[in-house]
Amino acid sequence: GAVVSQHPSRVICKSGTSVKIECRSLDFQATTMFWYRQFPKQSLMLMATSNEGSKATYEQGVEKDKFLINHASLTLSTLTVTSAHPEDSSFYICSASPLVGRTDTQYFGPGTRLTVL
């Protein structure tokens, strides 16, 4: 149980295009989903926290107009990287906290590798 999926697992795009990454909780409902970014040999850095039906809360230094987050349902959150540039190339990982049960636990997705050319 408690499986989180991400799609796509890997994406390569041209500079200036927008990329959408989906995060789904497959077998549980999640009121809160988190988006992280991980650069090579670095730790995961929280980008934003999204709650179903409300606006996401962004961490300091993360541009909300560049990284659009939508949490439309209790099982789906999307991250759209708008006008992507090479410096946005990174590993993006989402996580989800269940609505019931172990609400203090985050279950992580497998990550999405974004490469911007």
Partner 1 sequence: KQEVTQIPAALSVPEGENLVLNCSFTDSAIYNLQWFRQDPGKGLTSLLLIQSSQREQTSGRLNASLDKSSGRSTLYIAASQPGDSATYLCAVAGNTPLVFGKGTRLSVIA
| Contact set with partner 1 (CB under 8 A) | 6, 34, 41-46, 49, 91, 93, 95, 104-111, 113
Six-digit token pair at 98? 């269940």
Question: Rounded to the nearest whole angstrom, what is the least distance from the CB of residue 16 to partner 1 in the complex?
Answer: 26
Count, residues in the chain? 117
Q: Which is nearer to partner 1, 3 or 83 (CB)?
A: 3
Q: Which is nearer to partner 1, 16 or 101 (CB)?
A: 101
Residue 55 to residue 70: CA distance in whole angstroms: 8
Question: Rounded to the nearest whole angstrom, what is the least distance from the CB of residue 55 to partner 1 in the complex?
Answer: 16
Q: Which is nearer to partner 1, 42 or 83 (CB)?
A: 42
Question: Rounded to the nearest whole angstrom, what is the least distance from the CB of residue 41 to partner 1 in the complex?
Answer: 7
Question: Rounded to the nearest whole angstrom, what is the least distance from the CB of residue 37 to partner 1 in the complex?
Answer: 11
